[in-house]
Structure 1
């Protein structure tokens, strides 16, 4: 997703704002002359609950909930004590459609790009967008959770290498001359079933989101170094959960049109039909149209412009005499000629020539 900007390089007007963003992402341009900040600002009811480790949404005076009140009265009459998360110091996420709407409405995001060639950062791009209540509600229902210490939620954000595009949830926004130029409302494509899994699609094609969820599902976008391809991939979900066809990796192509707008379309996709906690170590090759990723059991190399399915790499050899050669992490080297393979209980990574695998394709 690009390098995060060190604290000392963040301009003061990004650091100090009236309301602190809850979710943020940053990236430096390849020539290190510009830096971009993408920040998400929720509404007060969400922000107060998040910061105070309290229920979300956080109300000054909670609204009346007739169904909940009747349940408590019924429990009292039956001599039962309703169980709550409060005793365990775990705050409560939205439980009803009303609470979900109150937690999800009124969100916004800002995108700012600064030139950092001089000692004083110069603001070159400043964009603010309002986020869809339904999109935010779906994100919260997919992955908002808390323990006895803090809230957590996966809120997918990404910035392209040249800082001219960014994504918020599953929306792509294009920037030109410092202004919002084009917004691709949804990168659904073959990922449509991902949203359907977590929402009810009405007959008029609109989506109706409810507050009840029994699972955690997360996804992420990764850019190719040249900004021509965008990878959607499942990042994490509960291992014993089945999300339609299993784990998914989708390559989206982004090209320039004559009118300077972007043409966005499906390039290829791969679906694993097995239980999985998601793809990880997803990385585009530095110069070639190759994609590397893995799940718990396998490591994949994918020529996504040529092959329908990726190649499964045999990386189980490991150093001679090693008790266990389980792969812990895989990546391309900076030159792109080798794979760096880190293994559990191994001090140093192995380096495997990429050509050894390409010759098999």
Structure 2
């Protein structure tokens, strides 16, 4: 836990799930810079019927918690970010309903008085959200973005300019910067170009030639990423009524391939991203028949899975949490997989070779075998004994 101090007060904040070993804060200098600006006479939030205060991309709820008195609407693609917001509200003695939590799949507010955007890592997600919110923005809407200097590029500003209106940036403060955008009601309102769809290449195993749906913000949304491509060539050859989990499913290609190779399997697609789970469901439904069995879960890895209930887990774990490189997510996934697997059940993982996941898997499972590898990637298998 760490404390964010503003002129309006201090807030104890933590990421979710809270881990005392986690060295990363639940806020950064860009959050503090935006709050400092809003507390100044120049940046004071308007009163009256201008519309909702909307916060997009609030990573761990720092902005929403500090602005709880304005009853903001938070739009976040992250299940963990939403859980962190709820926990931080409770931690600071604020009512649970002080922030309305929405995902990108929900209908946005009809009228926005203040739009605050924590610039996301994905420009595609920013583009999609600006398109979705633009009809609710009016001439009097206050629009401010915030991010670290290294996160704000010419392309970032161009999106605000093209979709919302003229844009300028502030001076940098502690390596953070603000984006001030003036809405231009005369700009044409065009629909979001998302989702994107593409056809899987011939070397995609059982899923070759199938069409994949990718909502904005999904990793490698315009093509099959090379790690998944390598994994598809080395998936386990199984038959029978397996319960299979595509853990951290992204657009669901791994789970789709498993379902096509074994029509008797029952699939579960899990991701902490609402956009990812929506992509996986559309990908699966478009490429399987009415008898295909699958469920789709937005959640914290396999935290909610029934113990000893799964035969096979397929996993391509991320190794970034926003800008930080960390194996914390992979470790959570591996521990969750071991709890969920039946005795004799298997976890198959693809990862960059240099990450050394084989060491973690041996510690968690007591065993780890290398199924395949090339100079960049390795496919690993761990069995629950």
TM over 0.5: no
- The structure with the largest strand share of the pair is 1
Q: What is the TM-score normalised by the length of structure 2? A: 0.26
Which protein is bigger by CA-based radius of gyration?
1
User: As a proportion of its length, which structure holds more helix?
Assistant: 2
**Superposition TM-score, scaled by structure 1 size:** 0.27
